[in-house]
Structure 1
């Protein structure tokens, strides 16, 4: 099975996927809520957004710079404390006249709840896909059903800023468990969207705010783009964020403010990951060629290792609690044991490692991807370097993100920058070499910590 999306007849100058995230089965509502807006209500929303939108040439230049991921030029930091709130929705598409939108009133008011595609089944996974198309930044919510071999876009929403990372979480202060998507972007403010709401124009809530002297508003959070996010699976009110500003913030979502700040990196912090079993242990990698492990109960001390390039991707081995892998800007993958130090290092790709995922069900299964366009499947053991099982070009051109499905040990999703084909879901068992290497390997059902006791 090889499913592809986004077959475009006329590609935009920019059309690529910088980030994606799987959502486990059984999380989403079967019938997501729909925001019903009349044309008049939407006109007012856009008018309100326009009143906040900067029209200076600096702002326009900054928006153009974001298309090339030029983080340093994205913000007008000299006038940082004068920034107004972010704008959302159709304004991001540069729509100046509401009548430019075809079939707008029908799209906003038509109740198609009887459509079978709108109903999310218990056997469905969601895939949250951050996409940049032309001047628009979009979150697309795909539905994937392995049994049926089906994949389709259920709904999407427009984002206020270029998406750089996505994290799923179930937490909103004062509400029951839900289905939320946190997005780190070129903005220092983290937006959390309710995935169970269709036609949503604004996030459910934010983390962080820009300072404003005019409004007497203090600065909260990062001062530059957010490069990675990690939600704590044991303490659901805790979210970690990594930024271009060289810091890691540990957010108390209930308070809406950071509870701790980590400032030991000498360059941008590109990747972070909470340990699934040890609630206080955070793994982080930066552009200063270091990777560090923190015990967040005592941030004064931490473990640190030097790696052979900038840390692009990191992940814990879910079956070996002290082991983690690092993918670097030089195309290497390094394995480090927290107790014994570096275990092995290999040259995995010709360019930076932009995708890396370890199976929590199939022992020894490692997948990697790179902007060199290649996707590779490896078989690893703790003591030895991985054996290459399969490599192929996914035809996504440069691959920017890749992740294994949490419910299906051999299904991956990947995003790239091929304008005609930038998103793919692939079942690895369709590859003969992978089936031969892993098909008979006993699968492991991971024990999950009792969330209720630590929530």
Structure 2
């Protein structure tokens, strides 16, 4: 598979990562166990695929026929990411660890020729993550290999380098940082990743040379073992962590559902099914902890109140919804980007659009607000263009700067949580596909925003302290934020 792309990226706040990430030291027995489990999983996948292939053949009136896939324009509209034919492409989305790892009888790796006493310590200082460092998480797919690359970015020093990376089992499509560890009461430094499979992988970013995720969410059915499916039925396109209720993670999927996961026990407790197409973007409200915003390819954005049965508001968009974004400076409004290059602003209180604007020539894959500079909105698109807007006046959208990048078709965009003018974007250019932008180096941006008062978005509140306390008490139990479909979520 001839590909080199960064499909998703996100940031980790300063002071969160462990100063000295722990290097995993596997015993030969542990490594052998991982290899055997991986081989068993791959065998189960192959076995289930054979069964599914047999079931795809329908016998009618004694004649064998096959279910045909849509073709032409219809196929493009219903299967944008070519999920139908993904398994038939060259390469394998699963990592065949069994063919890569070899262990000698004495427990040594025959491919390692440098002894421990010969290790070079010249880069030891780079291994230490300082309090003023940000981590930048980059999903990187090159050929058949999918990696989660953990970069260190220090704005003051101007440094940016890869600290360590993790080998992923499948093509990543979305990621979300979270600090909830079901096995430890202390805050964690985890990254949840949705990929081409229905299973969500959660990785510990404070571990180096880790071969397995800290835990996974969901499981595929195993017909031979008579195990039922848990979770999604298809690829996971977006994730949203509820930072107010840290044990709650939402996921949107190609299977036209949103699931709310209880991270305490790793199970889905709520299923939202009010969609006619794949769910491409989801976001919890920054203050109202029960409210979940969704955008799907059925050209609608929906706002759900997770405390009540089937309660939601819906807005028609001008195209398939690619991204949804709360205005965290004033969460009475949110933004929508679409596959035909439009951006739309919606007033939740009035239940109607404030404006819509043609912003790009192709689908808008990135939609991000500055962490603390009000009105600074950045968009990126499949047309390779990045644009900077001023939306301080919520009734207008003023273009400040635009640039055609050399990153290829832009796939993702993310704002630094600690620096108001630092953003990162990734694309599919095979030779250069990732960049961290300091927007203050752009004259037009500096002139527009340098005098603007910065606001810590975490301090903005639309609810009184007493009301917020009431919400926290009401939803202390996960049962309180479940919807009608919660029973037997599979």
Give the TM-score band, short-chain normalised.
0.7 to 0.9
**Secondary structure in 1 aligned to 2:457?**
coil
**1:148 corresponds to which of 141, 151, 157:** 157
CA distance in 2, matches of 1:225, 1:238: 20
Preserved CA contact (<8 Å) 1:31 1:118: yes
Range with bigger deviation, 47-56 or 183-192 = 47-56
1:291 aligns with 2:296: no
**2:238 corresponds to which of 228, 237, 253:** 228
Cα shift at 1:13:
2.4
Determine the structure 2 residue equivalent to 1:355. 366
Preserved CA contact (<8 Å) 1:89 1:157: no
CA distance in 1, matches of 2:289, 2:36: 45
**Deviation string, structure 1 residues 367-394 (Cα, Å, up to 9, x no partner):** 0000100000001134433111110122
> Which segments of 5 or more consecutive residues in structure 2 lack a partner in the other structure?
54-79, 477-490
Range with bigger deviation, 36-45 or 306-315 = 36-45
Determine the structure 1 residue equivalent to 2:404. 393
**Secondary structure in 2 aligned to 1:72?**
helix
Determine the structure 1 residue equivalent to 2:100. 95
Cα shift at 1:73:
3.4
Change over 3 Å in CA distance of 1:423–1:39 after alignment to 2: farther
**1:37 corresponds to which of 22, 26, 48:** 26
CA distance in 2, matches of 1:125, 1:96: 33
**TM-score, with normalisation over the residues of structure 2?**
0.81
**Secondary structure in 2 aligned to 1:354?**
strand
Determine the structure 1 residue equivalent to 2:82. 70
Determine the structure 2 residue equivalent to 1:343. 354
1:163 aligns with 2:175: no
**Deviation string, structure 1 residues 305-346 (Cα, Å, up to 9, x no partner):** 100111101110011111000010000100001012100111
Preserved CA contact (<8 Å) 1:372 1:398: yes
Cα shift at 1:42:
4.2
CA distance in 1, matches of 2:116, 2:240: 34
| Superposition pairs of residues 271-350 of structure 1, within 5 angstroms | 271-340=281-350, 341-350=352-361
Preserved CA contact (<8 Å) 2:371 2:416: no
**Secondary structure in 1 aligned to 2:84?**
helix
Determine the structure 2 residue equivalent to 1:53. 42
| Superposition pairs of residues 163-202 of structure 1, within 5 angstroms | 163-175=172-184, 176-202=186-212
1:136 aligns with 2:152: no
Determine the structure 1 residue equivalent to 2:481. none
**Secondary structure in 1 aligned to 2:383?**
coil
**1:415 corresponds to which of 426, 431, 448:** 426
Cα shift at 1:276:
1.2
Cα shift at 1:131:
1.1
**Deviation string, structure 1 residues 230-263 (Cα, Å, up to 9, x no partner):** 0001100000000000000011111221111100
**Secondary structure in 1 aligned to 2:223?**
coil
Determine the structure 2 residue equivalent to 1:8. none
**2:224 corresponds to which of 201, 214, 219:** 214
CA distance in 2, matches of 1:114, 1:421: 25
Cα shift at 1:44:
5.7
Change over 3 Å in CA distance of 1:122–1:264 after alignment to 2: same
Determine the structure 2 residue equivalent to 1:441. 452
**TM-score, with normalisation over the residues of structure 1?**
0.86
1:121 aligns with 2:130: yes
Structure with bigger RCO (C-alpha 8 Å, 6+ apart): 1
Cα shift at 1:36:
1.7
CA distance in 2, matches of 1:248, 1:108: 48
Highest CA radius of gyration, 1 or 2? 2
> For this pair of structures, how many residues does the alignment match?
426
Preserved CA contact (<8 Å) 1:88 1:202: no
Cα shift at 1:41:
5.7
**Secondary structure in 1 aligned to 2:411?**
strand
Change over 3 Å in CA distance of 1:56–1:189 after alignment to 2: closer
Change over 3 Å in CA distance of 1:324–1:343 after alignment to 2: same
CA distance in 2, matches of 1:426, 1:221: 37
Range with bigger deviation, 435-444 or 251-260 = 251-260
CA distance in 1, matches of 2:31, 2:120: 17
Preserved CA contact (<8 Å) 1:356 1:366: yes
CA distance in 1, matches of 2:187, 2:362: 40
Cα shift at 1:224:
0.4
CA distance in 2, matches of 1:107, 1:306: 63
**Secondary structure in 2 aligned to 1:399?**
coil
CA distance in 2, matches of 1:152, 1:417: 20
Determine the structure 2 residue equivalent to 1:204. 214
CA distance in 2, matches of 1:312, 1:347: 14
Change over 3 Å in CA distance of 1:51–1:212 after alignment to 2: closer
Change over 3 Å in CA distance of 1:108–1:279 after alignment to 2: farther
CA distance in 1, matches of 2:435, 2:110: 29
CA distance in 2, matches of 1:102, 1:345: 61
Change over 3 Å in CA distance of 1:219–1:277 after alignment to 2: same
